[in-house]
């Protein structure tokens, strides 16, 4: 999904209720790396700036019995920018691998299936 062009964004804003627009603006102002991971760090001749991917979502419901409005935000560290005497560079933050989690889930399911199986009848000798 790509970014909206200005004309498309303006057309969508006309359909948004004022409460939802206010909530979106309030969350959007706070959805940044500084809010989640802190301000840039300056140490003598070096500055380190955190970089994150911040996302937020909003929802509005209006039914016969109840109405609701809500939103949420998530942020994921991507890395940091280092500015020092040798220049400016971006250092990527290592992202966790899901392979160990997937292995654990498969192993846990295999053990659970084995334990739930009825015991075998033993032959008398």
Mind listing the pLDDT tens digit for each residue in 78-108? 888 999 999 999 999 887 777 888 888 888 8
The 46-62 sheet, strands edge to edge: 41-43, 46-62, 67-84, 87-92
**pTM across the whole model:** 0.48
The answer to whether 89 touches 82, Cβ cutoff 8 Å, is yes
Place of tokens 């009825």: 118
Show Cβ contacts of residue 94 under 8 Å, excluding neighbours closer than 6 positions.
Answer: none
pLDDT over 80 (residue 123): no
pLDDT tens-digit readout, 6-45: 666 666 666 677 777 777 777 777 766 666 677 888 988 9
């Amino acid at each position: 999904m790509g970014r909206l062009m200005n004309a498309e964004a303006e057309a969508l804003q006309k359909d948004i209720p004022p409460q939802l627009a206010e909530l979106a603006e309030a969350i959007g102002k706070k959805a940044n790396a500084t809010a989640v991971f802190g301000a840039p760090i300056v140490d003598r001749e070096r500055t380190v700036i955190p970089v994150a991917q911040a996302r937020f979502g909003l929802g509005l419901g209006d039914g016969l019995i109840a109405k609701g409005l809500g939103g949420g935000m998530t942020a994921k560290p991507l890395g940091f920018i280092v500015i020092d005497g040798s220049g400016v560079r971006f250092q990527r933050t290592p992202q966790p691998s899901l392979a160990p989690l997937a292995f654990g889930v498969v192993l846990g399911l295999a053990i659970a299936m084995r334990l739930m199986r009825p015991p075998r009848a033993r032959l008398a000798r």
